[in-house]
Every structure is written in C-alpha cells, then in structure tokens.
Chains A and B, each alone.
Chain A
Amino acid sequence: MSRLNPTIPRNYVSLRLWEVVGTAVFNLFVFTLLLVYLFPMVYMTATAFMEGIQLRDRNAPPYPSQQLYVTYEGKEYKIYTVPFGDETRQLALVTPGRTSSEFIDPQNPAAGLIQWEGNWRQLVGVYEFHATWDNFSLLFRSLRLPEMLRNTLVIAFITEIGVLVSSIVVAYGFARFPLPGGNFLFYLMIATILIPEKVTLIPTYFIFVRVLGWNGSWLPILLPFFFGNAVYIFLLRQNFKSIPKDLDEAAVLDGAGPLRTLFSVILPQSWPVVITVSLLHFFYIWNETRQASLYLSTRRDLIPVSFGIQNFQSLTPVQNQLQASALVIMIVPLLVLIISQRYFMRNLVITGAEG
C-alpha cells in the first residue's frame, strides 16, 4: 500500500497496522481475562436455572438443559447418541442393559426395537436448552424474602441518612476549620479505621445486650452510624478541600453562617462524592451479616436479606437452589453498580488520583 503514496515512509503503514492489531490483541486478552475472572459467576447463573436431575447427570452440558425424550406406548424414553460402527444415531432407550440394550427410533417408532451391543451407561444423552424458575420459586416459598428485603431497605435508609449527615458535617469541620491540636484529631480518626473490631466489641456487646437489653433490636446496628464513619469522612474531606476557598469566603462575607455555607456552597459542588459515599454505604449495608448475626438471631422477623440467605445454606445443600439464592442476593448490588457505574467508578478513580 505504501507504494501508492510514496511520500509516506514505508514503515508508516505497518506501524498503523501494528497499532490496530495490537489494540485488537490487547482487547481480546482483557476480555478473555474478564471471562476467566468472572467464570464462577457464569457457573452460578447457569446452575441457578437447572433442574436437580441435571446436576446428577454426569454427561449433561454446562448450560441449563434437559435430555430429549420420546413418548412410546404411553411411556417416556430418553434419547441417547448411539454409535453404530462409523455413524451415530439418536435413539430412545427402552431396555437398558450392561452388555446389550434395546432402542427405538424416535422418528419411526413403529419400526420396532433396535438392538445395540454395549453398556448403556457409556452413552451420552441428547440435550436441549431448558431453563426452570423452580429454584427461585422454592426460595421465595421457603424464605420470607419480601420481609427481609424490607428490613434491609429500612436499615439502609435510616443509616444512610444518619451516616451521610454526620459524615458531611464532620468532613466539613475537618476540611475548613482550624482545630485544637492541628491535624492530630484527623490522624486519630484515620488510625481508628485500623482498630480491630473485636477489641471494641466485647464491652460494647455487653452494654448493648446485657445492660440496655437491645438484643433482638436494630438499635445496636443503627446507632453507631449516627456518629459518622471514618472512611466516608476521609473521602468527603478530601473532596471538600479541593473546592476553592474563595467561594465560601464570599458566602461568609455575604453573612452566611458555617452551615449555610456548607449547604449552599460546598454541597452543591460535591454531589458526585456524596453519591459515591452513599453507594458505598448501601453496598456495605446490603452485604452486612456480622452485626445481624450478633444482635438479631433471636428475631427472625427483623433479619436483613443477606443474613437470611446465609442461613438458607444450612437449610438446603442442593447446588442449584444455593446458586439461585446467590443470584438473588447479588442481583441488587449488581444492578445498582451498573446503573451508577459512571458516577461510582469515576469517583473512586478520582479518589485514587487525589489520595
């Protein structure tokens, strides 16, 4: 091609070609890696739609399927791929045997029985795609999912308000005001993130449960969020600091108090990070099972959905039902993440650029 246009150096085209091929290879590699990375999810999704009988069939394909069958003289017979010398035929098994079996031809049942020498167990069935919703309906019948879902949403809503209001106010304090001891309190807050939960749990649990009698109540789960969360405060503060100070100084000159400044100057410019933090908190609450297992094991009607599904594991050891429950429990965070991906991903990435 370079001969057509002699002004372009010879290697120009090959370089561009190299670019295109390189990009294609690179993207192919990333997509393959993604498939490998998420492969257990593919397994989960496929298994969630399978019937139990398919799980017991060693020759069944990986996708939800059922073996084809034919009805002959009022009875159902499964169809297998049967080898006859060089060719294979798809025949329905009538009398299975270890050394010889009898089949009929599904296309032509009237032709009568066909003899075949060999162990029928080595034959592979003929399958067609077949998905079932049974696992999900069983899940909805055996767990009180709507009630659990409501519990999770109420807990999420209450703590969302508590943690956002308190964290925003505290982050504003850390971002804009001089504090006694300089940065000491801020470093102290960062350090609290690293304190193992168990050290604080022993007395806290005793006070909540034995002294205040809050066993079987949401209070021990809800209350701590009203005092802010160190990680959220950190993220919000970093963002508030990046807003030029001239803006709130102008607001102060106009006679705005600190809270007015926060709500009329700082917050309107910080919606992306506020949304990111509230999403982080939603994921946290949705996935949370520890606190629930500590305080709610006596009140089945108050448990959140993750904890309920976790208990489902002890009720059923059947893989297709377990995978269905896994799909049910992850579908909400999955949808929330996908809907919010532009906000959420970009802001966590920006945090990295600033941090």
Chain B
Amino acid sequence: MHTPNQSRQRSARRYQKTIGLLLISPWLLGFVLFKLLPILASLGLSFTDFYMLDPGKTSFIGLENYARLLQDDALGYLVVATISRAIRTVPLQLVASILLAALLASPRLKAPTPVRTLFFLPSIIPGVAIAFMWYGFMDPTTGWLNRFVLPAFGLTGFNDVYSDAAMALLYGISSLWAIGPGMLIMLGAMQSISSEIHEAARVDGAGPLVKFFRITLPVITPAIFFSLIINLIAVFGGVILLDRGNSFRGGGAPFDDYITYWMFDQWDLGYAASVAWFFFVLVMVVVVALFSWSRRWVYYPDREF
C-alpha cells in the first residue's frame, strides 16, 4: 500500500532524475561519441590490418598486431624512455611545487598576488615560446647560459645543445615551468589550515620544521596527489588543466611520437591502434595503482566527492 504522498514523492524523485540526466546529456553524448566509441573502435582496429589509404582491403588478423608489438624492439625503449622521463620530472616538480607553495603561503610575503602571478606565468605561455626561449638561452654561441651564467660560476660552457644529455637536462629543467596549477592548488590547501592549529602547535613547542612536516604536509596530501596525477599524465603526453602544445624536438611523449609515426608516416592504423591500446592499458594500470596507493597516504577529511 502506498500512500498518495509516498507515490508523489517517488514520482518527484523520478522527475528529478530525468531532469538530471537531461542536464548532463551533453557530456554523456560527448563521452559516447568522442571517448567510448573511439576507444572501442581503436580496440577493433587493433585486430585488423587497417591501412589508411586503402580501407577497403581491411581484414581481420586477430592478435597478430599484438604479437608484432611484443617483438618490436621499440617497445622496451618506449617503456624505459617513459619511465626515465617520469623519474626526471615528476619528483622534481612535486618537491619544487611544495617548497614554492610553502614560500608563497607565508604571511611575510610582500605583494603576494603579483609574486604568485609571476611564478605562475610560465605555466600559461605557449610551448612554442618556451621552446624558443630555452633553446636560445642554451645556445652555445649566443645564449646567456654559455656567455654569462656558467662563467659566473667559473665553468666553461657546453657546446652541443642538441645532444641527448643536453636535451634531457633541458626537458627536466623546463618541466619546472609547468608546476603552476599544482603549486596554486597546494597553496590553497596550505591557506585553508586555520591559524589556530598553527598557534596550538607553537604553544606545544613545535618549530617551523615540525609544523611543516606534521601539519602542513599531511593537510596538503590531496593537493600533492592531484599534482602527481597531472604531472604524470603530462609525462604520458596528455593534457590536464593547461595545455601548451609541444614543440621541443623530442619533446613529445615517447609513446605519442611512436603512435604518430605509425599513423601518419606509415598509415598503418591497425598497428598504431594496437600500440595505442597497449599504452592505454599501461596508463590505466598506473592510474589505478596510484589511486589505490593514495588511500594509504592521502588524507581525506570526511569529504564527499
């Protein structure tokens, strides 16, 4: 037996659900059209010898592309290059953004907004401009690194800015120019710590270092985790929050470049799709692992998502 009131409530709830679904339908449709279907189509393509210029001749070849991928000499290189790229940038970015956020959160800072804006600035300028600047800065004959910076420390310059080592260094250093969003979010988290907590800690005799490690760091773990995810996805060649395009030579993510090569130089979409799917699974495994690891160290104060 339903009272009229109950059934009215239930139909009101159904009405609310329908409205909700209608409101999110643009995203839902976009998800199906631009994410779900392409991902499945990619999976389907990876089982074929689909050739961009002659799609009519496509035939089903089963797991052949994947067998080929596992024997591909490039695969090991791609995995190692991706990991080394992550090791070179992510820890550096995380430490730098935590320290910078701690500096910029200090009440001693004069003109906080302009200073924060200037530290944030490199994160929004186009990759093209950044590439020109860093290449120019490190240019062996005209760049300031060789002419003014290194001599100031009594060092002689290096000659080949395009060598692998120099490129790796360049990539690592310039990754520090992408920490803006992560740094701001950590800054926000630090400022949300009430001054009473700091005061209480001070009364209990905690010094600045103890306060930093025992209060600040635990509170900003969600922001650290967020930065970890954005930085890692950037290493994988993805984009979260701020894109800047890619224009360093060899600046593209290794897997990205390899897929592009099979797509646009070889037109072999079947093989490109199998590389892409392998990469997709790899990224998802890493992301899931990170999220389950995050439960052990990220502090969530009774938050509902």
- Please give the residue numbers on chain A whose beta carbons come within 8 Å of chain B beta carbons, in ascending order: 22-23, 26-27, 30-31, 33-34, 37-41, 43-44, 47, 55, 58, 62, 166, 169-170, 172-174, 176-180, 183, 185-189, 192-206, 210, 224, 226-228, 230-231, 233, 258, 280, 283-284, 286-290, 306, 309-310, 313, 319, 322-323, 325-327, 329-330, 333-334, 337-338, 341-342, 345-346, 348-355
Residues of B within 8 A of A353 (CB): 188-189, 191-192
Residues of A within 8 A of B26 (CB): 166, 169-170, 226-228
Residues of B within 8 A of A283 (CB): 124, 242
Q: A193-B240, A199-B38, A287-B124 are in contact. Are A40 and B133 (CB under 8 A)?
A: yes
Report the minimum CB–CB distance from A184 to chain B (whole Å): 11
For residue B249, which residue of chain A has the nearest CB? Answer: A313
B218 interfacial contact with A, CB 8 Å: no
Bound CA span A284–B287, Å:
24
B122 interfacial contact with A, CB 8 Å: yes
Q: Is the CB of B184 within 8 A of A348?
A: yes
Q: Is the CB of A62 within 8 A of B31?
A: no
Bound CA span A355–B147, Å:
45
Q: Is the CB of B245 within 8 A of A345?
A: no
Bound CA span A183–B303, Å:
14
Q: Is the CB of A326 within 8 A of B129?
A: yes
Q: Is the CB of B132 within 8 A of A198?
A: no
Q: Out of B16, B245, B269, B287, which one reaches A287, CB within 8 Å?
A: B245
Q: A178-B16, A325-B132, A326-B133 are in contact. Are A333 and B113 (CB under 8 A)?
A: no
Q: Out of A43, A176, A230, which one reaches B144, CB within 8 Å?
A: A43
- The digit string for B209-247, where 1 denotes a CB below 8 A from any CB of A, is 000000000000011001001000100111111111111
Q: A203-B42, A227-B30 are in contact. Are A177 and B16 (CB under 8 A)?
A: yes
Bound CA span A328–B231, Å:
28
For residue A185, which residue of chain B has the nearest CB? Answer: B24
Q: Is the CB of A349 within 8 A of B272?
A: no
Segment of B66-74, B196-204, B255-263 engaged in the interface with chain A: B255-263
Residues of B within 8 A of A166 (CB): 26-27, 30
A-B contact pairs, 14 of them (CB 8 A): A30-B115, A166-B26, A178-B20, A199-B279, A202-B273, A206-B269, A227-B30, A227-B31, A289-B128, A313-B128, A323-B136, A326-B132, A349-B191, A352-B186
Q: Out of A178, A199, A205, which one reaches B280, CB within 8 Å?
A: A199
- The digit string for B180-195, where 1 denotes a CB below 8 A from any CB of A, is 0100111111011000
- Please give the residue numbers on chain B whose beta carbons come within 8 Å of chain A beta carbons, in ascending order: 13, 16-17, 19-24, 26-31, 33-35, 37-39, 41-42, 45, 52, 55, 103-104, 106, 108-110, 113-122, 124-137, 139, 141-144, 147-149, 176, 181, 184-189, 191-192, 222-223, 226, 229, 233, 236-247, 255-256, 259-260, 263, 269, 272-273, 276-277, 279-280, 283-284, 287, 305
Report the minimum CB–CB distance from B103 to chain A (whole Å): 6
Residues of A within 8 A of B124 (CB): 283, 287, 333, 337
Q: Is the CB of A310 within 8 A of B245?
A: yes
Question: Which 5 pairs show the lowest CB-CB distances between chains A and B?
Answer: A352-B188, A227-B30, A177-B20, A173-B23, A352-B185
Residues of B within 8 A of A194 (CB): 229, 233, 238, 283-284, 287
Report the minimum CB–CB distance from A292 to chain B (whole Å): 9
Q: Out of B127, B263, B287, which one reaches A205, CB within 8 Å?
A: B263
Bound CA span A186–B220, Å:
23
Residues of B within 8 A of A352 (CB): 184-189, 192, 223
Q: A233-B27, A329-B128 are in contact. Are A173 and B136 (CB under 8 A)?
A: no
Residues of A within 8 A of B222 (CB): 355
Bound CA span A329–B229, Å:
29
Q: Is the CB of A203 within 8 A of B255?
A: no
Q: Is the CB of B27 within 8 A of A198?
A: no
Q: Is the CB of A286 within 8 A of B277?
A: no
For residue B223, which residue of chain A has the nearest CB? Answer: A352
For residue B44, which residue of chain A has the nearest CB? Answer: A203
List 20 extra interface pairs beyond A204-B38, A224-B34, CB under 8 A.
Answer: A27-B110, A30-B104, A43-B133, A58-B141, A177-B23, A178-B20, A180-B17, A193-B233, A196-B279, A202-B42, A202-B263, A227-B27, A227-B30, A284-B243, A287-B126, A287-B243, A289-B128, A329-B129, A338-B117, A349-B184
For residue B277, which residue of chain A has the nearest CB? Answer: A199
Q: Out of A38, A186, A198, A288, which one reaches B256, CB within 8 Å?
A: A198
Residues of B within 8 A of A174 (CB): 24
Report the minimum CB–CB distance from A331 to chain B (whole Å): 9
